[in-house]
Amino acid sequence: MIEDPGTGSAAANLGGWFIHHNQTPIALRITQGDEIGRPNRLSLYVDEEQRIFVGGKVIEVGKGTFILPNG
């Protein structure tokens, strides 16, 4: 079975989906990665003002920077 251990960016996008479908506020616990032996537990909260909060403990495996052009 192929499974991603978990991504906070995907959880944030799920928060955007709930906003788009007018299903806020919402609080979820997301579980992922068990099948590949890397259990991941994330929290997703979208408040009444449609702000998205993602939380959880992480093990950093990569790092990067985005540079956007002016204009």
Q: Which two tokens stand for residue 41?
A: 């537990």
- pTM over 0.85, yes/no: no
Domain limits of the chain?
A: 8-55
Span 4-60, pLDDT tens digits: 677 888 899 999 999 999 999 999 999 988 888 888 899 999 999 999 999 998 777
Query: Residue with structure tokens 């099948």?
Result: 35
pLDDT given for residue 57 in this prediction? 82
For residue 53, the number of C-alpha atoms closer than 13 Å in the C-beta half-sphere is: 14
The residues near 36 (Cβ < 8 Å, ≥ 6 apart) are 1, 3, 5
Would you place residue 3 in the very low, low, confident or very high pLDDT band (cuts 50, 70, 90)? low
Rounded to 5°, angle at Cα 42 from 26 and 63:
125
pLDDT given for residue 38 in this prediction? 82
Would you place residue 2 in the very low, low, confident or very high pLDDT band (cuts 50, 70, 90)? low
